[in-house]
Amino acid sequence: MTVAFMRNKMVEVEPLPTGNLAVHWRLSDDLIDVDMTLTFQLPDLEIVDAAANVRRSPHREGVRAGEIIRKMVGVRVGGGLRKIVRGLMGGAAGNIDLTEGVLECCNAVILNFTLPGIQEFEKYTYTTEEERLAPVRAMLQANPRLYRSCVAFAEDSPIVRGLDLKGGVS
């Protein structure tokens, strides 16, 4: 059976010569084509530049992407990010694709910094299950906020067992 609708989304993180990170995001489907670029300043991951462009949309009346996205300048990746972004982007009266796009850009920045640590895991050799879990357990110990964030870090996971995390897991 053929598909009646397709959506492609892409987000890319590009370190800039200035030391900042440019994050390029694009959504293209049967109806709309929109892109945005957010620039994050290190080390506090503050958005210092934001631009968006709608290339295709059947809707002539609605959110003007370029105008609304500039409200993201000054936002930092950190606690309360979702609430802050959704509030600035208009909440329920805002465009969901654009709002979630901003959050996906921020998530990509976090994953960009997560990737080298995971690549380090791949150099690790093990012969027992305990040894296999050791680097993941070390990562969880260093990042206890991950506790209960997914099945791998759930209370009954072998990764968590025996760790002394905040909240007294043992």
Partner 1 sequence: MITFSRSQLIGMEFLDEEIVRIHGTQEDHIYAMEIEMDVRIADGVILAVKGLMKRYTTPVCPQAVERLQSAVGMSLRVEGWMQAVMRDIGRNGCEHFAEIITECGRCLDQARMAKALAANLKTDPGADPGALAAAWLADHPEAPGVPLAL
Footprint on this chain of partner 1 (rule: CB under 8 A) = 1-15, 29-32, 34, 54, 56-65, 90, 93-98, 100, 104, 108, 111-112, 114-115, 118, 121, 129, 132-133, 136, 148-152, 154, 157-159
Min separation Cβ 29 and partner 1, Å: 7
Min separation Cβ 120 and partner 1, Å: 12
The crossing angle, in degrees rounded to 10, of helices 81-88 and 96-121 is: 150
Nearer to partner 1, 78 or 149 (CB): 149
- For residue 158, say if its preceding peptide bond is cis, omega within 30 degrees of 0: no
Query: Which two structure tokens, joined as six digits, stand for 34?
Result: 């929109």
Nearer to partner 1, 29 or 46 (CB): 29
* Cα-based angle 31, 101, 68 (whole degrees, multiple of 5): 85
Min separation Cβ 129 and partner 1, Å: 8
Asked if 159 and 140 count as a contact pair (C-beta separation under 8 A), the reply is yes
How many of the other CB atoms lie within 10 Å of CB of 22?
16
Nearer to partner 1, 142 or 151 (CB): 151
Could you give the CA distance from residue 21 to residue 43 in angstroms, rounded to a whole number? 10
| Phi, psi (degrees; rounded to nearest 5) at 110 | -65, -45
Min separation Cβ 7 and partner 1, Å: 4
Min separation Cβ 42 and partner 1, Å: 13
Nearer to partner 1, 18 or 149 (CB): 149
